[in-house]
């Protein structure tokens, strides 16, 4: 069955999130390529002296704006409705209290030292802005194992519903494709495109790339793993039999196989030591006197010479006026705040739809390490849970936090 570009992007988004889907769209010519990161603005103090700015929301966007403006001399106030900074950058640890929209509540009882990144959980090496602030603030980073050849691909329509190791799917695919291309070259299929010398060079490359036999057949490879692992002395182990090419051509496997090749998912991926909230905590340390937590905004009014914000805090109503306001709160929340925006702007806010997303994680003995020898990475499944994401820290300790579901769209809504 032919898979459309739209469907491919949808599957990439399911596995890698909005960022991965956008990069896939760029590669397919479906979205414009954004301007490269140009660095923080050049605003030397006292550039903003005696100019008041109020920022709504203490997520990464609000904290970054507040930090840069504060350095430039602006009088900055950040209003945050929650009792913490970070926005959706939320790391849950022992003692955390989670109240869901349906009224249910959860209390985290993880072991000390364990945590769950409920929001973002990895930083691509090309995310220069975030990495730049980590460097500036001294936020210690460690490798996030985003891809692991020992992890699994599970699709109920493939291999009788039994999981396959990623190393076998990836390397057997390389082997079969290399065999087909090498044979096509030897049979003259590319005589018009290549010289005799180039054809031989390509065949030799394919022999090495696909681990082909001297007669250009793919008969399996130790790259794909073993049915019986090598032992001592002359025990060379028993390599796995190759997967049939027809099975590998099932499009249900493609998204998982190609995941690590998406630009924003390629190694090396990073994460802060101790949790993603180490980043907003570093901003908070430098903006503590400018942040008002528990400040729920109820009204935004544009004035001829600025803006007035009304908010509630500790049971009392207060207001603040400023020359400028920077609004970083989610649009569905903004739509519920009284304002005097223009009708077209209000319609744009109201009509903007956010996608659903769900993460489910729990503490568990590290059976994936002791039984399956999986240390970090992601296994992909074709069920509503979509994937299993293994922790990249504290290897070989007793317990870890296993992410057993990360999905979006209708699956998350259900």
Tens of pLDDT, residue by residue over 336-387, are 999 999 999 999 999 999 999 999 999 999 999 999 999 999 999 988 999 9
pLDDT of 275 > 60? The answer is yes
Q: Which of 58-62, 156-160, 167-171, 310-314 has the lowest mean pLDDT?
A: 156-160
3-state secondary structure of 109: coil
Residue 157: pLDDT band (50, 70, 90) is confident
Share of the chain above pLDDT 90, in %: 81
Q: Which residues, 6+ apart, have CB-to-CB distance to 37 below 8 Å?
A: 128, 129
Q: How far is CA 116 from the centre of its chain?
A: 14
* Full set of structural domains in the chain with CATH: 45-87+277-354 (3.50.50.60), 165-249 (1.20.1440.240)
Q: Which of 102-106, 185-189, 226-230, 242-246 has the lowest mean pLDDT?
A: 102-106
First-to-last CA distance in the chain? 28
Higher confidence at residue 35 or residue 141? 141
List Cβ<8 Å contacts ≥24 apart for 371-374.
372/150, 372/152, 373/150, 374/148, 374/150, 374/151
What pLDDT, in 10s, does the model give residues 224-265? 999 999 999 999 999 999 999 999 998 888 888 899 999 999
3-state secondary structure of 298: strand
Residue 213: pLDDT band (50, 70, 90) is very high
pLDDT value for 365: 99
Cα(169)–Cα(153) distance, rounded to whole angstroms? 8
pLDDT value for 29: 59
pLDDT of 54 > 80? The answer is yes
Q: Which of 101-105, 180-184, 237-241 has the lowest mean pLDDT?
A: 101-105
What pLDDT, in 10s, does the model give residues 115-127? 999 999 999 999 9
The CB density around residue 50, as the number of other CB atoms within 10 Å, is 9
Nearest C-alpha neighbor of 57 from the set 71, 36, 77: 77
pLDDT value for 21: 58
pLDDT value for 254: 86
Residue 277: pLDDT band (50, 70, 90) is very high
Structure tokens at 289: 């006197």
Q: How far is CA 84 from the centre of its chain?
A: 22
Mean pLDDT of all residues belonging to the chain: 92
pLDDT value for 375: 99
Cα(336)–Cα(344) distance, rounded to whole angstroms? 16
Q: Which helix (H) or strand (E) holds 307?
A: strand 306-313
pLDDT value for 178: 98
Contact 57, 80 (CB under 8 A): yes
pLDDT of 218 > 60? The answer is yes
């Amino acid at each position: 069955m032919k898979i459309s570009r739209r469907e491919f992007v949808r599957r990439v988004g399911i596995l890698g999130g909005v960022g991965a889907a956008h990069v896939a769209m760029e590669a397919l010519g479906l979205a414009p390529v954004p301007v490269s990161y140009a660095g923080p603005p050049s605003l030397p103090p006292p550039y903003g002296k005696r100019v008041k700015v109020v920022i709504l929301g203490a997520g990464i966007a609000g904290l970054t704006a507040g930090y840069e403006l504060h350095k430039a001399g602006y009088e900055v106030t950040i209003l945050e409705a929650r009792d913490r900074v970070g926005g959706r950058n939320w790391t849950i640890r022992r003692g955390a209290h989670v109240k869901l929209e349906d009224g249910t509540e959860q209390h985290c009882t993880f072991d000390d030292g364990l945590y769950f990144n409920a929001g973002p959980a990895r930083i691509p090496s090309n995310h220069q802005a975030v990495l730049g602030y980590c460097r500036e603030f001294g936020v210690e980073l460690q490798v996030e194992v985003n891809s692991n050849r020992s992890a699994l691909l599970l699709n109920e329509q493939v291999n009788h519903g039994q999981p396959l190791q990623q190393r076998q799917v990836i390397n057997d695919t390389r082997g079969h494709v290399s065999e087909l291309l090498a044979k096509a070259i030897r049979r003259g299929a590319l005589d018009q495109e290549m010289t005799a010398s180039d054809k031989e060079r390509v065949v030799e490359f394919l022999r090495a790339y696909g681990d082909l036999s001297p007669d250009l057949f793919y008969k399996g490879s130790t790259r794909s793993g073993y049915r019986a692992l090598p032992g001592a002395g002359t025990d060379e182990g028993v390599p796995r039999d190759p997967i049939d090419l027809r099975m590998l051509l099932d499009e249900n496997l493609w998204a998982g196989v190609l995941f690590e090749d998406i630009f924003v998912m390629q190694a090396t991926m990073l994460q802060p030591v101790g949790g993603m909230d180490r980043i907003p905590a570093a901003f908070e340390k430098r903006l503590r006197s400018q942040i008002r937590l528990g400040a729920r905004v109820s009204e935004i009014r544009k004035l001829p010479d600025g803006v007035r914000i009304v908010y509630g805090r500790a049971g009392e109503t207060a207001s603040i006026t400023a020359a400028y306001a920077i609004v970083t709160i989610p649009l569905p929340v903004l739509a519920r705040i009284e304002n005097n925006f223009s009708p077209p702007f209000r319609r744009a806010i109201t009509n903007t739809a956010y996608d659903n997303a769900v993460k489910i994680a729990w503490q568990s003995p590290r059976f994936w390490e002791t039984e399956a020898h999986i240390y970090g990475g992601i296994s992909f499944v074709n069920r509503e849970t979509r994937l299993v994401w293994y922790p990249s820290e504290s290897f070989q300790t007793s317990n870890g936090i296993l992410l057993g579901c990360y999905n979006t769209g209708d699956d998350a809504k259900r």
